[in-house]
Amino acid sequence: MQRGTIAILMILVVAVTAGVVAVVYRVQNQQQAQAFWGNETALLIDRAPNVEVLEIGEARSGIVLDSEDELSQPPPEGNDGKKESEVEEEEKEPLPQAVEFNQVPWIIARSLDGSQAKGVTNLRRALVEDSSFDWTVPEEAKEPVWQYGLAIDDGRNFATVLFDLESRQVGLAGGNETTRLRPEMNEDFREFFAEQLSAPAGETEDETNEADESPADAAQANES
């Protein structure tokens, strides 16, 4: 009986020790990443339930963002003395949403729900781990050209991580600092975004399945 009790205690000690070591390792492996993102943002990136996958379009210098991240045109300089009611309203295309980095708006060309996307949980976890980044690469003057983003929120707070996979740079929308992913992690994100955004914009899953249907299958369906 006594031997059994000792064995159980030893198992508990080993389990607790392993748990403590794992926690210490994780904390030590997140110090630089948390300093870059900020503690609250890092927690949001890792654990918030809602994720949107973004395809980023061109930058739009000279256009400002309102409080809801909508692009708005600067006010006209003048109307040739006409009253505002007399100025003819021109029909304009609705301006798309955008994100801002270093005071420059970038168009969101496309977005889709990625909360349940394959691999997204592991990739989000990687964004808050030091080992995912190449901290030794010296900073360069080259400005990032954003191609993709992850918009993450918990219903109250949100953060948008931007990706320039050509230069391996990542940054936070609303900020002005970047760091670089390690090459292998950069490729993991490249594969993820390619898979998520592989269907043409506006094409539904049903339309994709119809396009993939062979003529023989279509003929058989018509006969039945």
Per-residue model confidence as pLDDT tens for the chain (224 residues): 566 676 676 676 666 555 443 444 444 556 999 999 999 999 999 999 999 999 999 887 655 555 555 544 444 455 555 444 444 444 444 545 899 999 999 999 999 999 999 999 999 999 999 999 999 866 665 899 999 999 999 999 999 999 999 999 999 999 999 999 999 999 999 999 999 999 665 554 444 444 445 555 555 555 54
Calpha distance 97→110 (Å, rounded): 9
Q: Which of 214, 220, 194 lies closest to 55, judged by CA? A: 194
| Per-residue H/E/C for 29-71 | CCHHHHHHHCHHHHHHHHHCCEEEEEEEEEECCCCEECCCCEE
Whole-number pLDDT of residue 92 = 45
Whole-number pLDDT of residue 1 = 53
In eight-state DSSP terms, residue 116 is: T
Calpha distance 46→177 (Å, rounded): 20
Calpha distance 105→63 (Å, rounded): 7
Q: Which of 68, 30, 97, 72 lies closest to 158, judged by CA? A: 68
Distances (CA, A) of 115 to 46, 84, 119: 12, 46, 10
Distances (CA, A) of 184 to 32, 104, 140, 180: 19, 29, 21, 11
The model's pTM is 0.68
Whole-number pLDDT of residue 134 = 94
Whole-number pLDDT of residue 59 = 87
- Residue 117, judged by CB atoms within 10 A of its CB (0-12, 13-18, 19+), counts as middle
Longest dimension (CA), the chain: 99
CA 39 to mean position of chain CA atoms? 17
